[in-house]
Amino acid sequence: MSYNLLDKADFEKFKKNNPSNFQYDFEGGSYLKLQDLELNGLSGIDEEKLNKIATLMRELIFATVEGSRSGHPGGSSAKVEQFLAMTLGGAMAFDLLDPKNNCRDRVVWSAGHCTPGLYSGLALFYESLQKKGIKFDVKKLHAILGKDLSKFRKGGGLPGHAESYTPLSDISTGPSGHGFSAAGGLAITHKSSGTGSKVWVFMGDAESEEGMTYEARNILHTVGADNMIVSLDYNHFGIDGDIDEVLSNKYINNWLGLGWNVIEINGHNILECVYAYRLTSEKVFANGNPTVVIAHTWKGKSYGSLENSNKSHGSQVKHDEYIEIENKLNANNKVSIPGKEGDILSDIESILSNLDNSLATYIVGRLKVASKKIPNEQKVLVQMKKTLKFVKGGSTRKFKSVTEIERPSKLPAELVFVPEQKVATRKSSQVFFEWLMKESAFFWAGAGDLSESVKTDKAENVYGVINRKNPYGRGIRYGIAEQNMGMMGAGMTLDRLPGNFAPVSVIGTYAAFTSMMCNGIRVAVINNHLYPEHKGFFIVLASHDGPEVGEDGPTHQGLYWMSMYSAYPGIKVYKPTDANETIEMLFYAMKIGEPIILSVSRPDVLVLKRGKNACCGQFVPQAKEAVQGAYIFKDYKNNGNNKMCVAVSGAIVLNNLLQILPDLEKEKIDIKVVVVTSPELFAEFKKKNKKKADSIFSKEDRKVGVTLHAGWKGFLRDFVDNDFYSAKGGSASGGEERSIGLETYLASGSVDEVYEMAKLTSLDIKKKILEIK
């Protein structure tokens, strides 16, 4: 029977006769509702004691934000029962006396602003340990005690957002959604390495609005990251208002529809929280999917007039109301807070005096349960080697960190390119990454749906792309998701695996598209700055740099992308001129262990001839000198003609310049050509070897200098104007610093305090101006 569906009567007839055409069999993750369910008690889970601890934790949270008159009480208070159930409920493996044990579970505060909750919880735990006579090195562990809460968000005190050196916090977070993507990177690293560690994430409901979390949810389901558990605080409020104003669809579908397992609980019922985390950690669903525990909560629970409102996100109640709130929470305790404005430490001490011996004993006992869950590191290493033993071709993966691999004195034949042949630098990096993949079990490669174009494909194919059928691969199919790729690919390197192996990744896209990755990269290099012990090394492959993607038009031409990365401390832009320089600069980056942006070309470019009489009868240095950041390709002839020094970056413009040298000489111009591969590297080189650096590009050269770069002019500005700009992260030598500004990241503090840290007070500025010659 046929129908004209544009006819209303016919359409209704069709609808009546074919109901199955109007139904969709929803396929998603598994679902379990524990909310308001009668549950049996569990051995070791004393609900009465845990609820008393929860009350003390809220009191400390509110005192912490009162002391600083700054911070985020709403989300912190909403997560109290989740935090206690996760840490004391018997699901998580961690040890507060060895907080960065390589075999622990990882914890990421994607809701990085909820530090009043994290710090208050840690203060209760460490105070309990001290109460029970357990000694520990506070500074070494970065342990937090009650007195530390009084310095929250103040200069030299506890920072406003979660930082990765802190116990129970493994990524420094802040921007919404970024912690979730970074946690996903950790989950992929551990799952594909067979460590057995889980990754626990504290997340706010409004973070689902952030696009990168959608990108991350997709890939984590696809790869089967069932070692990732998200505790999602579903309190319905973002900063501006109800999240329904943004996410008007049924909220659960943002997770269930993407294949995640979902458990719904009352987030203030501690027994439901414990059950949810225990069931998830024991993989009750057994379907290979990651799990989100959606905890229905009240934002700002017990925080007086701001309870259950968006206003509690980052606002504080007035002092008189703060006292009322504390007294109400404290009604059943022996000691009340003094409540004297400006003396928050006395309030904190009063709250902690109600942490009696019974509660401290219980906390310490539960912490011991958590520490016993950490497996023996040697046993984990044996399991990892057994898991990763099988390789395509039958060889064994090499258990060696990438940054420990040294440049061979004689390079493998595949890493040497014949002069005067044409090879795109993206093809030389392709060969290098394939070679590197076979040299380390801890190297991952992926691209933003461009692997064959940016040439990460051969590296990905060595062990295959990670998926449920190939869980121990090393290729990551990020898809068209550059924002997530930047944070996830960089985030996975901010860790140390059992055996202290350091994960390394390369993430590739077109140079023009790297701007979409900027904030994730920024967060990653800030992590390196804050916690250098877990410094991550990663390579952002910026392929198709320059205007050579001509036929694709201006949206694809890589012209100005490097401006942001050149500004970030802790990462450098490398722009090798040919295939051999690409290899040398990659080996150098591995040796230094600092993240890089590697600019590579789309078209085949000439492999430069080097050595004696290589250019205009002059000596051209070997490709190794590219790691200096600059070298002399052709020197002056000193023939009495007017001198000009051309600082050039990029193979095509270099070759174009070389073709017109005879014509320029006819115009009585004596040309010196300096190839620049990284202005930032050269600034560092100048501090190490000023004499040689000055011979490459002197003050006299600068006076007659011209820059040549098929892209952003500013890339070579620091190189030429070295009298005015110094290297990121340090001052130039010889009194050359003439630029007053910032070169690194700052700690938390008030406006006055951060300007003191930056040395930009009136007195600082006066001093610097007087020092300039």
Q: Which two tokens stand for residue 469?
A: 């059928």
pLDDT of 735 strictly over 50: no
Residues 6+ apart with CB under 8 A from 328: 302
Supply the pLDDT for residue 728. 42
Residue type present at position 424: A
Supply the pLDDT for residue 241. 92
What digits encode the pLDDT tens for the residues 301-338?
Answer: 999 999 999 999 999 999 999 999 999 998 877 778 99
Supply the pLDDT for residue 736. 43
The per-residue pLDDT of the chain, averaged, comes to: 92
Cα–Cα dist 561/714, whole Å: 11
Please report where in the chains the tokens 């802040």 appear, as a residue: 174
- Percent of the chain residues past pLDDT 70, beyond the cut: 94
Strand order of the sheet with strand 669-676? Answer: 630-634, 669-676, 642-649, 705-709
> What Cα–Cα distance (Å) separates residue 737 from each residue in 702, 703, 716, 764, 765?
16, 18, 17, 14, 13
Mean pLDDT across 509-529: 96
Residues 6+ apart with CB under 8 A from 368: none
> Which of 344, 351, 348 lies closest to 67, judged by CA?
344
Supply the pLDDT for residue 685. 95
- Percent of the chain residues past pLDDT 90, beyond the cut: 80
SS (H, E, C) 564-597: HHHHCCCCEEECCCCHHHHHHHHHHHHHHCCCEE
| pTM value surpassing 0.85 | yes
Work out whether strand 31-33 and strand 261-266 pair parallel, antiparallel, or are unpaired: parallel
Kindly indicate the confidence band of residue 730, based on its pLDDT and cuts at 50, 70 and 90.
Answer: very low
Q: Which two tokens stand for residue 455?
A: 């040439």
Cα–Cα dist 345/337, whole Å: 10
Domain shared by 398 and 533, yes or no: yes
Answer yes or no: is 2 within a domain. no
Mean pLDDT across 697-705: 90
More confident residue, 711 or 165: 165
Mean pLDDT across 121-147: 98
> What Cα–Cα distance (Å) separates residue 512 from each residue in 484, 524, 535, 746?
16, 20, 27, 29
Domain shared by 182 and 214, yes or no: yes
In this structure, what are the phi and psi dihedrals at residue 7, rounded to the nearest 5 degrees?
A: -90, 125
737 C-beta neighbours (distance < 10 Å), count: 18
Answer yes or no: is 18 within a domain. no
Domain shared by 358 and 400, yes or no: no
How many structural domains compose the chain? 3
Answer yes or no: is 10 within a domain. no
Asked if 299 and 320 count as a contact pair (C-beta separation under 8 A), the reply is no
Strand order of the sheet with strand 537-543? Answer: 475-477, 443-447, 504-510, 537-543, 596-599, 572-574
pLDDT of 724 strictly over 60: no
Answer yes or no: is 121 within a domain. yes
Supply the pLDDT for residue 734. 40
pLDDT of 738 strictly over 50: no
Of 373, 397, 419, the last residue of a domain is: 373
Supply the pLDDT for residue 757. 77
- Name the burial class of residue 708, with classes exposed (0-12), middle (13-18) and buried (19+) by CB atoms within 10 angstroms of its CB: middle
SS (H, E, C) 689-749: CHHHHHHHCCHHHHHCEEEEECCCHHHHHHHHCCCCCCCCCCCCCCCCCCCCCCCCCCCCC
**DSSP code string of 743-758:** -S---S--HHHHHHHT
Please report where in the chains the tokens 């934790």 appear, as a residue: 57
Domain shared by 355 and 270, yes or no: yes
Domain shared by 192 and 55, yes or no: yes
Q: Which two tokens stand for residue 724?
A: 């005015």
Q: What is the CATH number of the domain that holds 231?
A: 3.40.50.970
Answer yes or no: is 21 within a domain. no
Answer yes or no: is 246 within a domain. yes
What digits encode the pLDDT tens for the residues 551-590?
Answer: 778 888 888 888 889 889 999 999 999 999 999 999 999 9
- Name the burial class of residue 23, with classes exposed (0-12), middle (13-18) and buried (19+) by CB atoms within 10 angstroms of its CB: exposed
Q: What is the CATH number of the domain that holds 751?
A: 3.40.50.920
48 C-beta neighbours (distance < 10 Å), count: 8
Of 349, 373, 397, the last residue of a domain is: 373
Domain shared by 485 and 343, yes or no: no
Supply the pLDDT for residue 330. 87
Supply the pLDDT for residue 296. 97
Mean pLDDT across 165-174: 97
Domain shared by 589 and 649, yes or no: no
Domain shared by 316 and 423, yes or no: no
Supply the pLDDT for residue 729. 41
In this structure, what are the phi and psi dihedrals at residue 648, rounded to the nearest 5 degrees?
A: -125, 140
Q: Tell me, what DSSP letter sits at residue 40? A: -
Kindly indicate the confidence band of residue 760, based on its pLDDT and cuts at 50, 70 and 90.
Answer: low
Q: Which two tokens stand for residue 519?
A: 């904030």
Domain shared by 356 and 477, yes or no: no
Supply the pLDDT for residue 723. 46
In this structure, what are the phi and psi dihedrals at residue 749, rounded to the nearest 5 degrees?
A: 170, 175
More confident residue, 603 or 486: 486
Cα–Cα dist 139/125, whole Å: 16
Domain shared by 349 and 256, yes or no: yes
pLDDT of 393 strictly over 70: no
Domain shared by 138 and 99, yes or no: yes
Of 569, 600, 631, the last residue of a domain is: 600
Q: Which two tokens stand for residue 600?
A: 């590579």
Name, of 368-372, 542-546, 560-564, the range with top average pLDDT.
368-372
Answer yes or no: is 379 within a domain. no
Asked if 126 and 363 count as a contact pair (C-beta separation under 8 A), the reply is no
Q: Which two tokens stand for residue 631?
A: 């070298």
In this structure, what are the phi and psi dihedrals at residue 699, rounded to the nearest 5 degrees?
A: -65, -35
Please report where in the chains the tokens 């004393």 appear, as a residue: 46
Supply the pLDDT for residue 552. 78
Alpha helix (H) ranges present in 257-356?
A: 270-281, 319-329, 344-352
Kindly indicate the confidence band of residue 741, based on its pLDDT and cuts at 50, 70 and 90.
Answer: low
pLDDT of 346 strictly over 70: yes
pLDDT of 660 strictly over 90: no
Domain shared by 343 and 410, yes or no: no
Q: Show the domain range for 193.
A: 31-39+47-373
> Which of 704, 182, 127, 748 lies closest to 484, judged by CA?
182
What pairs with residue 643 in β-bridges? 670
pLDDT of 390 strictly over 60: no
In this structure, what are the phi and psi dihedrals at residue 280, rounded to the nearest 5 degrees?
A: -70, -45
Alpha helix (H) ranges present in 313-450?
A: 319-329, 344-352, 357-372, 377-387, 425-437
Cα–Cα dist 498/102, whole Å: 5
Answer yes or no: is 287 within a domain. yes
What pairs with residue 598 in β-bridges? 541, 574
What digits encode the pLDDT tens for the residues 65-96?
Answer: 999 999 999 999 999 999 999 999 999 999 99
Name, of 14-23, 249-258, 358-367, the range with top average pLDDT.
358-367
pLDDT of 682 strictly over 90: yes
